[in-house]
Chains A and B, each alone.
Chain A
């Protein structure tokens, strides 16, 4: 069965810490995405990647960076965590058919609290 695994379900960090959120997929998908979800705002795209070592900014990349050294792993990095980065973070992967993204498979999410 298809699986996207996020390393932590809940995470509590302090302001100024460097935070790593890990996401691994076992479906050999080319495309991976990071979103954050806040009440009333839906999902907002932070970064995405269509290939190893490739990254593209989404709508809200400020304060974040990403790393994709291997096809199956896409990491989201908060360089210096701030309280306004408290949120649910969702990772997803998909196959790209050359024309369009087929369906996204999501991980269970990481609820990050920055104190």
Chain B
């Protein structure tokens, strides 16, 4: 069964606004990762946060992890039209499990 569940399923914002996506998972994890997928292509790794970390930054990306709530969030600040893509969280326990993704549309 899928480990991660992203919320919302779809998000539409204007360029310059911030985008927040959430991920909930079911069991204990070693780390949680976020990936991006442009239409019909393979996934690209964005950021990894370990189970003993609470927050991590990479450029315009900010990821938080709350292991007590089994949830994570991905914040993209000052969004651009080029950020339009699907975003997936993935959790590592014994293998790598992905959620169904959030489809982000950034309007110019």
Residues of chain A having any CB pair with chain B under 8 Å: 4, 33, 35, 40-45, 48, 56, 58-59, 88, 90, 92, 94, 99-109, 111
How many residues of B sit at the interface, in one of the four size bands? 20 to 34
21 residue pairs of the A-B complex, CB under 8 angstroms, read A41-B100, A42-B88, A42-B98, A43-B88, A43-B98, A45-B95, A56-B95, A59-B97, A88-B40, A90-B42, A90-B43, A92-B43, A100-B31, A100-B92, A101-B30, A103-B45, A104-B33, A104-B45, A106-B42, A108-B41, A108-B42
Q: Is the CB of B30 within 8 A of A109?
A: no
Task: Tally A-B pairs: CB < 8 A.
Answer: 66
Could you list 15 further interchain pairs (A-B, Cβ under 8 angstroms) beyond the known A45-B96, A90-B42? A4-B42, A33-B95, A40-B100, A42-B98, A44-B2, A90-B43, A92-B43, A94-B96, A101-B31, A101-B92, A104-B35, A106-B42, A106-B44, A109-B40, A109-B42
